[in-house]
Amino acid sequence: MNEQLELFDLETPLKQSLSRKAKAIFNNVKTKAKEVLGYGTARPIKFGKFKNIKGVDRHMLFGKYFKTSDIVEIAGVQGGGKSYLLYRVIKAMCTGGNFLEQACPIPKKVLLLDGELPIDDVNERFDNILVNSSDDEQSLFNENFSIINREFSGGLMHDLCKLRPTDQLFKDMLKFDVVVIDSLKTNTFGSNISSADEIALLLEVFLLLKSHGITVIYVNHFTKGSVILGSVDFDIINDVTISFAKDEKKGCGVRKLEIVKGRGLKDEDKQAVYFTFHPDEAGTPFRQV
């Protein structure tokens, strides 16, 4: 007898068991969110349909600290070494390398919006960081790293608080795995980042990039009162907030790196670590104290 016909002759409990298994297999087959009708609209969706939708792929990007699609803030005092820290993280992400005992398992394409430094200073810092790199690492870095620089752009960066999804800059951002903003203030001249109303469009851009699976890393500054610049709304959308500051109590030149906020991180993973960094040495090494 045909096997398919035999199935209909099975006892009812067995048919029900097979039916449950078939449903379980079907329920494990998920559709990517972008392929589902209604994606991108704020409309109700029944859970029976929602449970079969797959969100953006998320995996560890920089060790235990942050994942793909995270919004990450690195905050510290001016002149504290944030850019050196950032550049070392960028090198690790672009080459699939290690830094601060954290691994970047897969090389990523990184875009840096640099509103801080002149062209020569940027090149000098990266040249020193890459001086001991292998040919493969150098090749990966050259291929995966792109930059929009303040000096090369004519002296002033695009005000990100006015950026819209239809603008070319936003379309360019979508071509990368990671968008790095150094710094928040120098990429928003003309807007008050302490005003929730004036940063509303910028937060929308951050969240749109996140929905595309793109990691956003932005550098921010402490005020003289050791308060992070900007509206509290930034902290609300951050997945990770990293404080990088001087710690004279530990010794001259010591920096304290602390995870102030980290979704899903255990308390022991948030413990502060202390480093000295040496920009005048080949490779710009960071040494744990």
Please give the DSSP secondary-structure letter assigned to residue 270: G
Q: Please choose, from the candidates 192, 185, 200, 184, the residue with its C-alpha nearest in 3D space to the C-alpha of residue 236.
A: 200
185-206 confidence digits (pLDDT tens): 999 999 999 999 999 999 999 9
CB 96 within 8 A of CB 133: no
Left, alpha or beta for 227 (phi > 0: left; psi -120 to 50: alpha)? beta
220-272 confidence digits (pLDDT tens): 988 766 778 888 999 999 999 999 988 878 888 899 999 999 988 888 888 89
pLDDT at 87: 97
73-108 confidence digits (pLDDT tens): 999 888 888 999 999 999 999 999 999 999 999 999
38-80 confidence digits (pLDDT tens): 777 788 889 988 888 888 888 899 998 899 999 999 998 888 8
The yes or no reply on domain 60-288 and CATH 3.90.740.10 is no
The domain segmentation of the chain, as residue ranges, is 20-55, 60-288
The tally of CA atoms less than 13 A away on the side-chain side of residue 232 is: 0
Total-model pTM: 0.86
pLDDT at 13: 61
